[in-house]
Amino acid sequence: MLAIVLSSILSLQAQIMEPVTWDIEAKSISEGEYDLVFTASIENEWHLYSHDLPAGGPLPTEISFLSMDGFELIGEFIETPEPTEEFDPIFEMKVKFHSFEATFTQRIKILSADPITISGELSYQSCNDETCVPGYEDFEFSFNNESEENEVLAVDQDSKLKPEKQKIDPRSPVDISSRSLWGLFFIAFLAGLVALLTPCVFPMIPMTVSFFMHGGKNKRKSLFQAIFFGLSIIGIYTIIGTLVAVIFGPGVANFMSTHWFPNVLFFLIFIFFAAWFFGMFEINLPNWMVSKSDKQVDKGGFGGPFFMAFTLVLVSFSCTGPIVGTILVESAGGAILEPIIGMLGFSVAFALPFTLFAIFPSWLSSMPKSGGWLNSVKVILGFIELALGLKFLSIADQTYHWGILDREVYLAIWIVIFTLMGFYLLGKIKFKLDSETKYVGVPRLMLAIVTFSFVVYMIPGLLGAPLKGLSGYLPPMTTHDFDLHQVIRDNSGSGGIAEAENSICEKPKYSDRLHLPHGLEGYFDYEQGLACAKSQNKPVFIDFTGHGCVNCRQMEDRVWGDPRVLKRLRENYIIIALYVDDKNIKLPEEEWVVSSYDGKVKKTLGKKYQDFQITRFNQNSQPLYVLIDTDGEPIISPRAYNLDVDEFIDFLDEGIEEFSKK
């Protein structure tokens, strides 16, 4: 028995997450004026949402007072440092958040000379890539005490003072950033390999190699020159990335990623690059720049390889410029490292074959000859540039609600672009600089098959198909004007899905303010839902969720939206969605709950079900999915955030099987 009790206690402590810890104090500013300072220490890979958030998004960090007697507020609730601002495609709005540490300050003025106690609550929400945790921090300040200095008492969810925790160094590495930098490096590396196949660069390989073949019998010197040549290419491009980082830097990262002007500008740049690749015009660097670099090459020594590399960069600019520009545009909205890492990845791939052929010139004989196929590569890149450029216009469109690029319009343009690209690969469309194509080779045919397959995949999206593989590039489903799936759902007269949807027992409480996705019906009150499950002898699917839980929305969009999942939820379960972060629905006094966890009275729907999740299932993060029987007992182990649809189906099927055994 003792082992079971200890195991339960350890399990409770292990599952209750506290990614944000608070240091609360009152600072005297002048006679009768104080700053109430709330300092948050945020764990790595978590973020805390700002106070300044639009309605309908994540939960903001807010302060509320039980009573305003004896004092008044001066100014607004201030937060430092400036929060990071990004467009969230799930909530379809710009959201602000803090990482590592944040401070929130409210200035007050004491209006009475008598002792006064100010108490209230700090509410907030923190999330990482997998889960979200709403939080409530009680506080109490005492002022005008004659026998002692002003006191502050901060009470956490455990109704205890928080222990002192080691603060996080904002300079410490974050794993998620490391992963994203490696991803950027890999994408830039692939872009460098693609750049080698452009008509400005590919013919330069034998020309460059011939320079190093003049090294005579001193093979060691030729080897060092070839290596120095490759390093020079990497250095030149990396310096470009460094300059971009210094000029643009993190200070304007949020502006570039969310404001309409840079996004529209980037869109126009991509269109310009596409027209360039299609052969609409040619832009070359001034001859004096190239010729001056050529003169330095003739001087030999290690200056020769450097200026040979510099010449290569200049001469190839007309083809690599759009690719380099794309990398810089994609990375400039990040912090200092992104442009540098992007250029480093590009230059390593770009310099590698030149260096290897310079070291082993005999390999040159096995290379394919340049010709019209190089221009075909350039044109294909033009189509891709055209498609990707829409992403920037879409960001501005969503952020400012212009309504230019709704989801079906965006998809229609992509379908046309890639259809034309497929016809180009088959030789049905020609551009000015293309060579005569007598027949379609196997590589072009295979690329055409892939392209047309992609087009066929996108077509159902015009009718409302989710197209989960493109969810990061398309506008959200809410911008789709015609969703055939929703129309069928809404207009089903009887039987099938409609009958299953209407299988709940009575009108759910709070259904005027709370809703389930995908036309599902269920309950938002645990007791009401459990009573229905007993009457129908069905297992219960409890969804611990929240209004501001972005991970919950991802699960609903990408997992619940699967027809196999929807069928099981509609037909086999009574759904109870418990919103643990709802602050607006006040419970009648007879429904108040005294927590066995912290001893506090829970007076709102959100606090009641947050406490229910903690006391019954030893967890406080969302989303959490629990399958219970009609007696309220868990059937199988709960499931958290996981986007694997097949595993979620297995989870639901196992619950049905275990329930039937009972």
522 and 428, same domain (yes or no): no
From CA 599, how far away is CA 581, in angstroms rounded? 19
Q: Which of 370, 399, 428 is the last residue of a domain?
A: 370
**Which segments of the chain have a pLDDT < 70?**
1-15, 55-56, 89-92, 146-181, 197-222, 241, 244-259, 282-304, 308, 311-312, 314-338, 354, 357-358, 361-374, 398-401, 468, 471-473, 476-503
CB 167 within 8 A of CB 23: no
Q: Is there a single domain that holds both residue 291 and residue 428?
A: no
Give the domain range for residue 34: 20-155
Check whether residue 134 and residue 192 sit in a common domain.
no
Residue 133 sits in a domain whose CATH number is 2.60.40.1250
Residue length of the chain: 662
203 found inside a domain: yes
350 plus 377 within the same structural domain: no
Same domain? 375 vs 362: no
Indicate whether 444 and 501 sit together in one domain: no
Query: φ, ψ for residue 80 (rounded to 5)?
Result: -140, 150
Looking at 325, 342, 370, the residue that finishes a domain is 370
- Asked if the structure places residue 161 within a domain, the reply is no
H helix count then E strand count, the chain: 20, 16
Q: What is the largest CA-CA distance in the chain?
A: 99
Single out the residue in 347, 370, 393 at which a domain terminates.
Answer: 370
112 shares its domain with 193 = no
pLDDT at res. 216: 46
Structure tokens at 477: 């489903």
The amino acid sitting at 236 is I
- With tokens 């709005």, the residue in question is 93
- Whether 654 is in a domain gets the answer yes
pLDDT of amino acid 247: 66
Whether 282 and 213 map to the same domain: the answer is yes
At 357-373, the pLDDT tens digits run 667 766 655 555 555 56
CA distances from 498 to 129, 450, 492, 502, 547 (A): 35, 38, 6, 6, 26
Identify the burial level of 126 via C-beta atoms within 10 angstroms of its C-beta, where 0-12 means exposed, 13-18 middle and 19 or more buried.
buried
- Predicted pLDDT at 241: 64
Asked if the structure places residue 86 within a domain, the reply is yes
Residues 453 and 319 in one domain: no
Q: What is the pLDDT of residue 275?
A: 85
pLDDT of residue 629: 92
Kindly state whether residue 70 falls inside one of the protein's structural domains: yes
Residue 518 belongs to domain with CATH number: 3.40.30.10
Query: Do 478 and 497 sit in the same domain of this protein?
Result: no
Chain centroid to CA 239 = 29
**Structurally, how many domains does the chain consist of?**
4
> In the chain, helix, strand, coil percent, each to 5?
50, 15, 35
Q: What's the rounded Cα separation, in Å, for the pair 459 and 475?
A: 15
Domain identity same for 397 and 454? yes
Inside any domain, residue 121 = yes
CA-CA distance, 67 to 144, in Å (whole number)? 17
Tokens 């490292």, located at residue: 337
Q: What 3-state DSSP class applies to 629?
A: coil
Q: Using only C-alpha atoms, what is the Rg of the chain?
A: 31
CA dihedral over 488, 489, 490, 496, signed as positive or negative: positive
CB 20 within 8 A of CB 42: yes
Please indicate, yes or no, whether residues 94 and 194 belong to a single structural domain of this protein: no
Encode 625-652: b = buried (16+ Cβ within 10 Å), e = exposed.
bbbbbbeeeebbebbebeeebeebbebb
Is 417 part of a structural domain of the chain?
Answer: yes
- Going by their DSSP bridges, the two strands 132-143 and 151-155 should be labelled as antiparallel
Closest CA to 348 of 476, 224, 187, 472: 187
| Domain assignment of residue 14, yes or no | no
The pLDDT score that the predictor gives to residue 532 is 93
- Crossing angle of helices 317-332 and 337-359, rounded to 10°: 150
